[in-house]
Amino acid sequence: MSLPDLFAPCSATVADVLRHYDGGHATDDGAHDVSHLARVWCLAKEIAADVPGVDLEALAVATLLHDCVSVEKNSPDRARASTLAADVARKLLVRMEWPAARVELVAHAIAAHSFSAGITPTTDEARILRDADRLDALGAVGIARVFYVAGRLGSRLYDPVDPFAQHRELDDATYAIDHFERKLLHLTYGLSTAAGQRIGRERTDVMRAFLTQVRRELGLA
């Protein structure tokens, strides 16, 4: 199955974009690779089904390109990644002679999807992409991604003295477990679509159950 096939029913549009795009999607970051794009698209479609009037093709292209500029999570330039990706998308779609309004629809969705960028989404497409991208950080896949990224960045699993930061500041740059309380368990509160909030609550429950089991295995419950 090719990359455009993963973006049904917008496969033809995605294939057309890829024919004009010379950036590729090769990355050694398994948390933001093609499988991530496919998962985010599945979530975006599910959310969009409850939102009338969404430009599904623009949403598909925004999903395809939302991580086209790769910046490591521990880089000082991390907050600029989404705006850099939006610039790449904007230039590409202008070359493809997309209407200006649709170019900006895609560019804004990409720029606003990032947690670290802090850009408020002002369109349905931007709200959907942001929710879908955040949802991929939750649930069983979200748990896997936490520890994948921790290994990639050289973090430890947890503080052996105080695993759940009862008597210290949270430090998710050092301890993977801290990332749940530091960020992930609170992501659902920032989701802006009804479907996104529903999925987010379900996936957060999966993470809480996982952490409960970790407590048991560490003899803390």
Nearest Cα residue to 133 out of 74, 55, 64: 64
Give the tens place of pLDDT for each residue, 16-68: 999 988 765 556 666 578 899 999 999 999 999 999 999 999 999 999 999 88
Q: What Cα–Cα distance (Å) separates residue 93 from each residue in 9, 19, 107, 130?
A: 20, 12, 9, 20
- What mean pLDDT is predicted for residues 121-133? 96
When comparing pLDDT for 135 and 77, which is higher? 135
* Angstrom distance (rounded) from CA 169 to CA 143: 21
pLDDT(216) > 90: yes
CB 12 within 8 A of CB 4: yes
Share of the chain above pLDDT 70, in %: 92
Give the tens place of pLDDT for each residue, 81-100: 888 999 999 999 999 999 99
Give the per-residue pLDDT at 97: 94
Burial degree of 186 (CB within 10 A; 0-12, 13-18, 19+)? exposed
Q: C-alpha dihedral over 14, 203, 196, 130, to 10 degrees?
A: -50
Give the pLDDT band (50/70/90) at residue 76. Answer: low
pLDDT(112) > 60: yes
